A = this chain, B = another copy of it.
């Protein structure tokens, strides 16, 4: 194969009869160059078909124009949607995105953050699976805050998890969201409302539970500990927890669930138990993830603004890259009540197939 010499900025300079630095400045607009030379450079670039080498420029400038994205799961409907909006927003700002999937494994998360650091990405978007209550994680979070390579700071923005007052973050307004969900059930006349929580070591879960308690209090409904249960994240576990609640024998006519996954399991368990939804028990989840509209009965939920979550995160990160000294920012985005059949029997089943 004919292997011609690769043409570099040097060749352009020679062809245009100017210096290398002049070519660089013309190409980057970093310094004023007379119209004549500037024109000559452009002509030569076109003539030679010159293509800048980002690796070389990255070496000198210390920028990779790449942001790393770390998510628990790529194929999860929620995170893939997030990835979608991150991709769009990043591209608009001329960054490419490099993805890593932690599988909810903190060890992997640490490894991937480290990999991105060594790769010298310009910034990292992190959906951490860290348990902020465990003391061991303190060190890790400290690492994140001070993440750097060769004394160059690498900014991090957190998505959907506010793990440190020193890291930029964007999250859903969990308290307000579950407050709305609970109020919704109350407005339907429900009095005996259970709460099925996702693991409470998650900041989000804590906030959501708070919303439930606040709504009951504000409505003068007594809180009954027997109606509160904590599970893990899975649909299966949602079903198990719901079964436990039902078997406890306390009166029940509604249940607010900390996320859609578990809510789907809860719906399944209630049906299995021979009760009617929503007549006997109304159910509402949180997230409004893709399958919510598909199951029967379709699941009411609090819709999390996935697209804005992603684009806001990118904005935060890029602002931080540009200005490392700016004050830390935390953005809370409002959720939205989506009423479907698990709280309104008359609601028509409309399959939301936007995940396709």
Show the binding face of A for B, using Cβ within 8 Å: 1-4, 6-7, 51-56, 58-59, 64, 66, 73-77, 80-81, 83-84, 87-88, 91, 96-101, 115, 118-120, 149-151, 233-235, 261, 264, 268, 289-291, 294-296, 351, 353, 355-356
Shortest distance from the beta carbon of A94 to any chain B beta carbon, whole Å: 10
* Count of this chain's copies in the oligomeric assembly: 2
In the assembly, what is the distance between CA of A1 and CA of B118, in Å? 21
Query: A100 contacts which of B76, B87, B291 (Cβ < 8 Å)?
Result: B87
Taking a contact as CB atoms under 8 Å apart, the answer to whether B98 and A97 are in contact is yes
Most chain-B CB neighbours within 10 Å: which of A97, A118, A150?
Answer: A150
**Contact between A83 and B74 (Cβ–Cβ < 8 Å)?**
yes
When A54-B120, A55-B55, A149-B51 are in contact, do A264 and B74 touch as well, CB less than 8 Å?
no
> Smallest CB–CB gap between A50 and chain B, Å?
10
Q: A164 CA to B235 CA in the complex, in Å?
A: 43
Question: Quick check: B294 and A356 within 8 Å, CB to CB?
Answer: no
Indicate whether A356 sits within 8 Å of B76 (C-beta atoms), given known contacts A55-B64, A118-B51, A119-B54: yes
A1, A80, A83, A296: residue with the most chain B Cβ atoms closer than 10 Å: A80
Q: List residues of chain B with CB within 8 A of the CB of A235.
A: 351, 353, 356
Chain B residues with CB below 8 A from A149, complex form: 51
Closest to A76 in B: B356
What residues on B are CB-neighbors of A55 within 8 Å? 55, 58-59, 64, 120
| Identity of the chain B residue whose Cβ is nearest the Cβ of A87 in the assembled complex | B101
Q: Which residues of B contact A296 (CB under 8 A)?
A: 295-296
A261 B353 Cβ-Cβ under 8 A? yes
Cβ-neighbour of A80 out of B2, B80, B151 (below 8 A) = B80
What are 27 sample pairs from A and B whose C-beta atoms fall under 8 A apart?
A: A1-B151, A2-B151, A3-B151, A4-B151, A6-B151, A7-B150, A51-B149, A53-B59, A55-B55, A55-B64, A55-B120, A76-B355, A76-B356, A77-B77, A77-B290, A87-B99, A87-B101, A88-B101, A96-B115, A96-B119, A99-B99, A234-B356, A235-B351, A235-B356, A261-B356, A264-B353, A294-B295
